[in-house]
Chains A and B, each alone.
Chain A
Amino acid sequence: MADADIVFKSGTELASLIKTRQLSSVDVVRAYLARIDALNPKLNAFITITSEEAIARARQADKEIAAGRYRGPLHGLPYAPKDILATKGLRTTNGSKVTSDWVPAYESTITSRLNKAGAILIGKLNLLEFAMGSGVLSGFGPARNPWDLEHSPGGSSSGSGVALAACLTPLAVGTDTGGSIRVPAALCGIVGLKQTYGRVSRYGVTTLSWTLDHAGPMTKTVADAAMMLQAIAGPDPRDATAAHVPVPDYSKALTGDITGLRVGVPTSYFFDGNAEEVKAVRTAVDKLRGMGAAIVPVDVPHANLAGSAGWIIAMAEGACFHEKRLKDTPELFDPLVRERLEAAKFYPATDYIKSMRVRTILMDEMAQVFRKCDVMAVPGGGPAARLDTPDRARSDIKPGSSAPPFRGGNTFLGDMTGLPALTIPCGFTAGPPVLPLSIQFYGKPFDEATLFRVSHAYESATDWHKRRPPLAAGSTRTTAAAAQSMR
């Protein structure tokens, strides 16, 4: 099978071929490494590439499968985590010059579980510094959106979004404190799941905000996200916030049937964004109605506070977490990250606590919403804006513009309430450039299954997820050797 035929397949398609030995894990890993070799110089999605180790593990996987020791659908499949997940013995940079040489002595629970399930780490993905910078001036430079190299891929899981959209990996892991899984998913046209707070352990994930951080799957299809969550979900004695809540069989939710499902659509706030995306989301909602869903109006009266209060919490906790590094090596931080963290030192404790009370209000309001519906649909947050110039990326104070109040409630709502949310593509801008548009579904606590049900049904009835960026559409077979390991 040609490399291009391999890398354009979804994770679940590849899993089936590997299980039945129609395709070897080595072939799959080599195909992705060749594609990384060809496209990463333009896209800057990977910070570290683990070619030799990945091929060795793929050989091992092929041997195990041939011997009848198949571990499950992730066995032999490549994956790449955001470089903020600790990997034992492998450099973990957090996208920052501050920690550019850090080699952890421990493994994050997520990568540990993926490795145990037989998945093969092929490298580590670029990000905005410490999950909060601009990306432009971070330690490793910005990842580039394959739909248009001059447009932002979103963040902070920028490399994860880019790598999936350009088919450099079938599976990725991101983290989300204010939207950092869902925004790059929206801007790159892929699937991003921020599951319920507590559903997945954060052990070994570098903190931005203890009370807001999540880590979860980023994939090309909904079925892939379900497959990944199945492997990484569940309690963990090393993370007290990982909840003891049973993990259902998510594959059972992928029925394609949404008859009778109640889809809530907010009547205010959420639909004030980009007109093309709003139109695409309303069209998607009509599609769901046509598939048998009941559309019901809902309201989240204080949604407009989610972004502002979330920002206060995230930056205050971030400033506390980075206190020593900020004191010891402030010059190594991205200027924007430093500005945000130093400013946060002056945030009054009362503002922080009041923001935590806003969380209670939002949680109560979302509980009311979910008395009326099973999922809530809102725009995902696209399309992508142009990448900042280095001059503008240095500060939140943008030359020549009066600063608007912070907005970001469409995604911050999920982190503030801990509720699960999943973003999938639902259209494209007219262009040029042609850029992805997305819809985001919110669900009840620990009810990721219903998010999979509705998004998989929508995905099955549309072809947005099958479109490829021009840069990534053709064959990229290269004669160059696979990228050198940076270990």
Chain B
Amino acid sequence: MSADRARIKPLSRRQLLQALAAVGITGPAAIDLVAQARSSISAETLRQASAILGETFTADRLTVVQAALQRNLDQFQIVRDLAIDDSVEPAPVFDPRRR
């Protein structure tokens, strides 16, 4: 990774929470601030993404999905923030026998 790229690497959720705690902001207030700081998903973004999925959602449904996805970002982020060693493989259940 280049030095320039390293400089612009965004803070992880954990790092943001630690930084806020250092200035005395903790608990729900800190979580709200982190959520606000995160880039949000717009219904328009989802409409474009749904074209990639090959599906069409109504505007109402996109609004529901947008809210749900926005909420889920927190739990996605905790997984995304995790640094995993290259040697760790996924654990899908695979069995070559077929019925």
**Which residues of A come within 8 Å of B, CB atoms?**
197, 210-211, 237-238, 240-241, 302, 304-305, 307-309, 311-312, 327, 339-340, 342-343, 345-347, 351, 353-361, 363, 395-397, 402-406
When C-beta atoms are compared, the residue in chain A nearest to B62 turns out to be A342
A357 contacts B88, C-beta separation under 8 Å: yes
B69 contacts A346, C-beta separation under 8 Å: yes
B91 contacts A363, C-beta separation under 8 Å: yes
Partner of A241, one of B46, B68, B79, B95: B95
Partner of A396, one of B35, B68, B93: B68
How near does chain A come to B79, taking the closest CB pair, in angstroms?
5
Query: What are the nearest 7 A-B pairs in CB distance?
Result: A356-B90, A343-B68, A308-B75, A359-B91, A403-B71, A405-B74, A406-B75
Asked if A397 meets B68 with Cβ closer than 8 Å, knowing A345-B53, A351-B79, A355-B79, the reply is: yes
Query: Given the complex of chains A and B, what is the CA–CA distance between A355 and B32 in angstroms?
Result: 25
A360 contacts B78, C-beta separation under 8 Å: no
A308 contacts B90, C-beta separation under 8 Å: no
Partner of A309, one of B31, B79, B99: B79
**Which residues of B come within 8 Å of A, CB atoms?**
28, 31-32, 35, 46, 49, 53, 55, 57, 61, 64-65, 67-69, 71-72, 74-76, 78-80, 82, 84, 88-93, 95, 97-99
A354 contacts B67, C-beta separation under 8 Å: no
Partner of A308, one of B55, B78, B99: B78
When C-beta atoms are compared, the residue in chain A nearest to B66 turns out to be A343
Query: Given the complex of chains A and B, what is the CA–CA distance between A359 and B57 in angstroms?
Result: 33
Query: Given the complex of chains A and B, what is the CA–CA distance between A304 and B67 in angstroms?
Result: 24
A361 contacts B84, C-beta separation under 8 Å: yes
A357 contacts B69, C-beta separation under 8 Å: no
Partner of A354, one of B28, B55, B84, B98: B84
Query: Given the complex of chains A and B, what is the CA–CA distance between A197 and B94 in angstroms?
Result: 13
Query: Given the complex of chains A and B, what is the CA–CA distance between A238 and B99 in angstroms?
Result: 6
How near does chain B come to A468, taking the closest CB pair, in angstroms?
38
Partner of A240, one of B55, B68, B69, B98: B98
Task: Pick 17 A–B contacts, CB within 8 A, sort by A.
Answer: A240-B97, A305-B78, A308-B76, A311-B72, A342-B64, A343-B65, A345-B53, A346-B65, A356-B90, A357-B89, A359-B91, A360-B88, A402-B31, A402-B35, A403-B74, A406-B72, A406-B75
* Complex contacts, A340 vs chain B, CB 8 Å: 68
Asked if A304 meets B90 with Cβ closer than 8 Å, knowing A346-B49, A404-B31, the reply is: no
Partner of B68, one of A312, A339, A353, A404: A339
Asked if A345 meets B55 with Cβ closer than 8 Å, knowing A240-B97, A305-B78, A403-B71, the reply is: yes
Query: Given the complex of chains A and B, what is the CA–CA distance between A172 and B12 in angstroms?
Result: 45
A405 contacts B75, C-beta separation under 8 Å: yes
* Complex contacts, A358 vs chain B, CB 8 Å: 79, 82, 84
* Complex contacts, B49 vs chain A, CB 8 Å: 346
* Complex contacts, A347 vs chain B, CB 8 Å: 76
Partner of A304, one of B64, B78, B80, B89: B78
